[in-house]
Chain A
C-alpha cells in the first residue's frame, strides 16, 4: 500500500549541503537499503521522510500525497534508531503496547496485537522482562516489534543493527528481512555495512556527499555498477588506469603502464583514457608461465574461506588477487614469483576516466 516518492529533496545545515536534489522512488513492499560513507546524507534523508527534519525544498509523497506538512504522529511511519530507545522502566509487553495505548486503542485490541508482536519477534517468554535484562540484540527486536505494533506499513530503520556484535548483526538482519517479507512492509534501511545491504535489500541506494550515486539490485551494484565510485566503495577492486590502444570487434586492448591486457570494449573508443576494474576474486594466480603478467607476491592474508594476495607486477602495477582456500588449498608464499591472469575477461569493467580525476571520483568525502 505505501508507495514513497522523494522528489528533488534538498537540505542544508549552515554551509553544509546534506542533501542535494535527491529523487528516489520506493515501491510498495520493497526493502531498500541506503548505503554510503559517513556524512553522505543517508540519515538526513530518512529523517526528512520521518518528519524529524523538514527539507529546504522538494517534495515527499506517500501514496501520492505530500507529507511534509503532516505532523510526525500522523504519518503512520515506524522508525527504529541505532541507539536502542526502549522505555527502561517498562516491561517488554508494555513497551510493545505503548504506541497503541497512546492512540487510545481498545484494550482488547491492544492485548491481541501485543501478543501477536510477542510471537512475531519470538519473545513471548520474555514478555515480563525489562530492557536491562535483555541482550542488545533482543532489545533491538523489541524496538522493531514496537514500531510494527503501531500498525505502520512504512518503516524507516537507521542503522538498526549498528550497535550489535558482528555475529548477532548477521543473524538479526535475516530475521528482520523475513519479518518485513512476511508482513508485507515497505522498508527504508540505512546502513554502512555493505554485506548487510547486499544480503537483504531488493534495491541498494548508493549515496555520496548528499547525492544519490546510483540505485540497483545488490548483484548489479557489486558486479556491474554504472559508476566507478560504487565499484570502489562496495567490496574490494583493482583500479588500473590505462588507454585503449586497439579495438577488435567487441574487444579491445588496454595499455596499463606499458603492459597490455585484452578487455571487453563496451562503448569505449580507440585512444580513450579509461579505468579498468577487476575484483580480486576474478584475478587468478599460477606458477610462472608464459601467459598473463609476471609478478612477485608481497603480501598474503589468510581469511578463512579465501587467501588475499598482493602481487607487485613487473613495471610497477600492484594487483590484489583472492583465491578460495577450498579449491586452491596450497596457496602462494611471500616472495614467490607468479603469473597473474584474468580467466574470464567479461569480469573486467571499463569506466571512462573521470573528468574530475580518479582520486576525486573515489573519494569518500
Chain B
C-alpha cells in the first residue's frame, strides 16, 4: 500500500480551535455552584508543624470549608508509588516516601501545602488563607546533595537513618580491568543543577461530585488521566466507572503533569465529594515554582579509559541524584542517566552507581529529557576532553566509537527505566552525524570561516553533539476506531494530549488505513469515559505506543469495511479499492458504496443478526512494545560569544533526527523546535537557585529566564529514517530529542568559541554570569 498520509506535512487539525481560543482548557470549565480552592503553603523548606488555627479563616464570609490534614481523618494517605523499585536489579536499596495531601507533622519543602480553603471565589479563598495562624518551628534544611549524605546531616525523613533514598549499582564488563590497559584515564566532577519545566499553562483541577448520580467528574491537567481515574476511585472507595477523568487541551506537559497525585489531586476531588459541590483549583505561577515537580540536579564523579587511538575502553560513573522531598517516581530518572551515559558508543566496560538523595526541595520527577541530558552531557564532555588530550579531532574520536550499524540490536547488559534489559533496537549513527556536519557546513566553517572571523576578533565556535534517546516504553496503549453513519471516523485512546499534534498525527495513521481524509478523523484523547485502558503521555511514547495501537485498530476496521463491502458489492475483497470514503470495485468505478452506508448496514436490523455478529465497523486494539525503541540524532551549532559580557548569539543551529518512520514532518519539527528551546534554557538561561535554607530565590519569570523568540535561532531539521524493528509502523519517539543533547552541545561550542581562554565546562546550566565567573575563576587559579 502506498503511504498516502503517513509522512505527509499536514497542517494540524487542532490548530483552528487552539488559535481562535475555542479549545477547552481546565480553567474554562465553569459549573453552576462551583467553589474555588486556595492552599496555605509553607514558607519554610523544613519545619515542624507545631499548631494550626483555622478558626478565623472558617469565619470569613464566603468561606465554605477549611481543611487540614487532621480534618481528612483516615482519608489522609500519601500518594501512591508510581514506579516501584526495579525488581530485576541486585542489591537495590529503595526507601519509598511519597508526597502527602496536606502536611501533618513536618514540612519537607518550601511550598508544601498545609491547609486548603474552599470558598465562593478564589479571592475570598486567598484572603482566608491569610487568616490561618500556623506555628511552624523551623528546622535546619537539607539542600546540598553532598552535605545531605554526610553523617550528622539533618534528616528529611526522621524515620530513616540518612537522607539516602535509593542506591543502585549496575555494571557491564569489568571497568577496573579495562582501566589497567588504558593509555589515558580522565576523571572529572560534573555538576548539573535544577530547572523548571515552565509549561505555559500551570496545573489545575476541577472536581465535581454529583451526589444524586453518585458520580465524580474530574477535569485535570494531567498527562495520565487513566491512572488518575483508577487511583482516585481507589482512594475514595468508588468504582472506576463512577469516576470520569478528562484531560482536555493542556498547555504543555513536559513531564511534571505526569506526576499523578500531587497534593492538589489528592485534596480537590476529596473536598468535592465531602462538600457535594464542584471545586476548582488553578495553580498560579508562583505556586508552580514551588509545588510542581522539577528535575536535573545531579553530581557525577566520572572516569573514562581510552586507548591512545581514542577508543573507549571503559566508563565509570558514581553519582548523586536529587529527588527532592519525596520519591514517588522511583528510579526512572537515574536509570535513564545510567542508560544514556554511554551515548551511542560501543562501550564494553561500564560501571555506574547512583545514590538518590532526599533534600528539602520540591519533588523531582521526569522533565522532558528525564535524566537523559545528564547522561549525554557526561559522555560528550569526556569525549571532548579526550579529543584535546589525545590530539584526535572531535568528530573523528566520536566516529571511532559509534556503535556500528551491523551491531544492532545492541544489548548493553544493564537494565533500563522499564527494568528491561537495555537493548538499542536499531540504529545507523554515522549517517545522521555526517548529515548534521554537512548541514552546518562544518568543513567550510572550520577551514575558512572560523579563522577569518577569529582574525576579525570574533569569538565564534562550533559544536556537534550526537545522542540517543530511549523512547516508546510500555506497558501498552489502546485505541478504538469507529466508522460512523456520517462516513466520518471516530477514534478514542487513553492517553492525554498536551500539544503534541495527536489530533493530526493519529488521524493520519487512521486515515491511511480506512481511506478517508485526515480531517474526517475525529480523535478523542484523555477522556476515561471514551477509553477505559491505558497509561499516559510520557517518555516520548505517544506516537510509538498509542500510534501503533491506532494502526492496529484501524487495520482491523479496514478489514471489516472491505469484508462487508465485498458482500454488498458481490465482489471479492482483493478487487476492491478503499479511498476517499468510498469502497469501489477496481475495474468498475461506478460500482461503489460509501463508508457511511456501510456503517449503517453494519448495525444490523432485527432478524439480520447471525451468531457471532458484532455490530458496527469498529475495532479496539492494543499495542505494547517488547521494550523501548531507541531514537537518535545529532545537533550542531555555531555560536558567537561576546568576550566582555558573555552574551551569546546562535548563528546557526541544525538537528538531524532519526526517529524511525516520520508520521508528519511538520509536527516533528515543531517538537524539535520546542525541545531545542528547552535545551537552550537548560544550557544557558534556566537555573533554579536555592539558598542554603532551601528558599527558592528566583521564583518568577522576572528572575527565572526562559529563552524567548529573541534568543532562539532558526532551527533547520533534517530527517533520516531507520525504522524501528519493534512495531509495525516502524516509529520511535521524538518528544524529548530536541532537549537532550543541547547542554553538551553548548559546552563544546562555548569552549570552541573561547579558544584562547583556559576553559573546561563541567557544569550546567551556565549563564552569561556563570560563564564569566567560570572564566575568572580559571584565570585566578
- To the question of whether A and B form a pair in one complex, the answer is no
A interface residues (Cβ-Cβ under 8 A, vs B): none
B interface residues (Cβ-Cβ under 8 A, vs A): none
